[in-house]
Structure 1
Amino acid sequence: MTERLTRLRPDDMTPEQAEIYACFTDGRRADPAAAFSLVHPDGGLVGPPDAWLRSPPLGRVLERIGWVLRFDLELSDRAREIAILLHAFHRASPFELYAHRRAGLAAGLSGAEIEGLASRTEPAFRSGEERLVFATTLAVLDRRDLDDAEYDAAAAELGERGVFELLALLGYYDLVATQLAVFGVEPPVTG
């Protein structure tokens, strides 16, 4: 499949689109030390935010949710990336795998642990949080639900907030993976 969207460039953006664009070119996301960039070398955006520019009202909301999921969760960075990578492998989402292999490394997962997630191989857990995120994510991916014992175990380790954050994370990445698949968004070609 070819990419179905023509990348919007800054000179072609409306003021509302430029506002969203600025969220990815300024501040923490634009830090050169960031695990990955969503800015194309020509100045446009790559990945999900390029699609979001088509609807600025939704784009603003999705950008904000993405920010919170990336920077403001109680889940640890490693636990968050374990969940995202399990989801990305489950959905076979090339762009998400591209971005979150990098983010996983930055969060402290090894390359072998990341690739092991493709076959659902448990990484070397550093905490009960990581173990419960792994198990809970697999249950949600496989059955879209948790039985009472699974929920109780997750809530005991993660708390109600942590369970909610994990479910929100998985739901968001399901939405993103669907958008990327339908629009044919591929990862950037890297040298």
Structure 2
Amino acid sequence: MTDGPPRYADVDATTHSPLLQDVLKRVVAGRGRVPTPFKVWLHSDKLSDAIEHLGTMLNTQSTLSEREFELAIVLIAQHWESPFVIDAHLRFVSKAGMPAPIVAELKDRRVPHLETEREKAIYAIFKAFDRKEIASDDVFDHAVKHLGRDGLGELIAFLGYYTSVAMAMKLHREPVPEG
């Protein structure tokens, strides 16, 4: 899956447009660093500008907790078989407080014994998408009850945003860090 060297083409910092320089400043201010997927998106000033707003909002201002959005990211990364994203976000969901037995279930792709109704709603919505189904009324109503319509909307955006992250990392052969 990641056979061969990474496929990134670095962007020369001396040739950054004013927009791209602004994007990089906002990314660092919002996230504390430039996430690896930006290596791909930096080649398009307008794309990196638009995606920075969405990514930073989702990662810093969502109604979903860090543990909840990391759960969603692990699930979508596994769907797309993106080793770098799976590895990174299994670590992040653990750091966000997900109990080790549940992280192990996620890693092994077993049905996780999630602790909260919000996490169960995230998992159920994802599984409906994963099976390419329309979520049942029960699944939808459970998600609205526990996540709210704002949280449900943000979950859908997380799944879409991290689909692009997973695909970018897989396509560009980002290696899983050792250790």
TM-score (normalised: structure 1):
0.79
CA RMSD of aligned residues (A): 2.2
Please tell me the residue identity of whatever aligns with 1:3. Answer: P
Please tell me the residue identity of whatever aligns with 2:112. Answer: E
Report 1:55-94 matches (<5 A).
55-94=44-83
Please tell me the residue identity of whatever aligns with 2:20. Answer: Q
Do the aligned partners of residues 144 and 54 (structure 1) sit closer, same or farther apart at CA in structure 2, a change above 3 Å counting? farther
Shift in Å, 1:54:
0.5
3-state DSSP of counterpart to 2:77:
helix
Work out whether residues 95 and 186 of structure 1, in 8 Å CA contact, stay in contact via their aligned partners in 2: yes
* Mapped partners of 2:19, 2:69: distance in 1: 30
State the match for 1:13 in structure 2.
16
Q: Provide Cα deviations, 1:164-184, integer angstroms capped at 9, x if missing partner.
A: 111111111112222223333
Of structures 1 and 2, the one with the larger relative CO (CA 8 A, separation 6+) is 2
3-state DSSP of counterpart to 2:131:
helix
3-state DSSP of counterpart to 1:2:
coil
Shift in Å, 1:123:
4.1
* Mapped partners of 1:144, 1:54: distance in 2: 35
* Mapped partners of 1:20, 1:133: distance in 2: 31
Work out whether residues 125 and 139 of structure 2, in 8 Å CA contact, stay in contact via their aligned partners in 1: yes
Report 1:1-191 matches (<5 A).
1-25=4-28, 27-30=29-32, 38=34, 47-118=36-107, 119-125=109-115, 127-187=116-176, 189-190=177-178
Q: Provide Cα deviations, 1:33-85, integer angstroms capped at 9, x if missing partner.
A: xxxx54xxxxxxx6210111110111011111111111111112211111111
* Mapped partners of 1:179, 1:106: distance in 2: 24
3-state DSSP of counterpart to 2:51:
helix
Shift in Å, 1:163:
1.3
Question: What residue ranges of structure 1 are gaps of 5+ in the alignment?
Answer: 31-36, 39-45
* Mapped partners of 1:61, 1:148: distance in 2: 33
3-state DSSP of counterpart to 2:85:
helix
Identity %: 28
Work out whether residues 47 and 186 of structure 1, in 8 Å CA contact, stay in contact via their aligned partners in 2: no
State the match for 1:41 in structure 2.
none
Shift in Å, 1:140:
1.5
Shift in Å, 1:117:
1.2
* Mapped partners of 1:10, 1:123: distance in 2: 46
TM-score (normalised: structure 2):
0.84
Shift in Å, 1:96:
1.3
* Mapped partners of 2:80, 2:156: distance in 1: 16
